Amino acid sequence: MTSTLFSPDRPALVRRLRAAGCVFAEDEADLLIAAADSAESLTDLVDRRVAGLPLEHLLGWAEFCGLRVAVDPGVFVPRGRTALLVAAAAAVAGPSPAVLDLCCGSGAAALVLHHRLAPRWLAAADVDPAAVACARRNLAPLGVPVYQGDLFAPLPARWRGRLDLVVANAPYVPSDAVAMLPPEARLHEATVALDGGADGLAVLRRVAAGAAEWLAPGGHLAVEVSAGQAPTLCGILADAGLDPSVVHDDDLEATAVTARRPG
Ligand SMILES: C[S@@+](CC[C@H](N)C(=O)[O-])C[C@H]1O[C@@H](n2cnc3c(N)ncnc32)[C@H](O)[C@@H]1O
């Protein structure tokens, strides 16, 4: 149901979106109609959608794990498969954990963990200023700080060796494969959000090394990768002194790895 003051031609809109390759054309039509406040703004939204802009960037939000997350232009759109990472992270968290959402993008994972866990401390961090601004919009109302910088570098030093849970959906697409991503990602999300270096694991190698320092004994790192990368990543985590464990969800086509710091 929409409360538009104009009368959009929904069937024509659906046909146009479908012809442009939008798989869920009916749903998208309804969302775009609801987002428009005039016939002109609807035409503008549909034109930009047909030209390839991600729906979420046009709407200004994405649905993630049942929550509405603000997503600004250029910022990584939270993917449905990352629900597995969040679930795996929540499953290994103890009571009142100190939690970091590293490589936070919009801050979607932190937002969900704020609701699922009762963290005694929760923070997020990202290197991209656009992502940090977006995450602050999502997290500042909850009192969750968002730091800007390379991985663990911007965090308050007092948390070194004291974090119970580090969640990191870091970039893991091999550099050569970035050109084969759908245009919505390749053209409208920052390269720093996608490109994981030669084998896709360059950032995650550094996350593993940092986690070994920043986790408390008994704390966990939780990361997302492709199924094919999981064995190599487990070796990297073990070399960093962490005990890895892989979870996979066929329906979500998602793989997450949790790794415990012994002690
Ligand atoms: C795949 S996106 C995931 C965003 C968010 N966690 C999510 O699931 O929607 C990866 C994020 O990692 C950030 N990133 C990449 N390299 C980084 C680094 N060295 N330090 C901190 N953040 C980094 C990017 O800016 C991007 O926001």
Distance, CA 242 to ligand 1 centroid (Å)?
22
169 close to ligand 1 (CB < 6 Angstrom): yes
C-beta 150 within 6 A of ligand 1: yes
Q: What is the DSSP string of the chain?
A: ----SS---HHHHHHHHHHTT-TTHHHHHHHHHHH-SSHHHHHHHHHHHHTT--HHHHHTEEEETTEEEE--TBSPPPPTTHHHHHHHHHHH--SS-EEEEES-TTTHHHHHHHHHS--SEEEEEES-HHHHHHHHHHHGGGT--EEESSTTTTS-GGGTTTEEEEEE----B-HHHHTTS-HHHHHHB-GGGTB--TTS-HHHHHHHHHHHHHEEEEEEEEEEE-GGGHHHHHHHHHHTT-EEEEEEETTTTEEEEEEEPP-
Predicted pLDDT at 5: 72
pLDDT digits (tens, 9 = 90+) for 36-56: 999 999 999 999 999 999 999
Taking the CA of residue 101 as reference, the ligand 1 atom at the shortest distance is 6
Task: Report residues of the chain scoring pLDDT below 70.
Answer: 1-4
pLDDT score, position 6: 83
Residue of the nearest CA to atom 17 in ligand 1? 127
| Protein residue whose Cα sits closest to atom 24 of ligand 1 | 193
Ligand 1 neighbour 126 (Cβ under 6 A): yes
71 CB within 6 A, ligand 1: no
pLDDT (0 to 100) of residue 1: 45
Residue 151 Cβ < 6 Å to ligand 1: yes
**Predicted confidence (pLDDT) per residue in 155-204, tens digit:** 999 999 999 999 999 999 999 999 999 999 999 999 999 999 999 999 99
The pLDDT score that the predictor gives to residue 4 is 60
Q: Find out whether the beta carbon of 173 lies less than 6 Å from any atom of ligand 1.
A: no
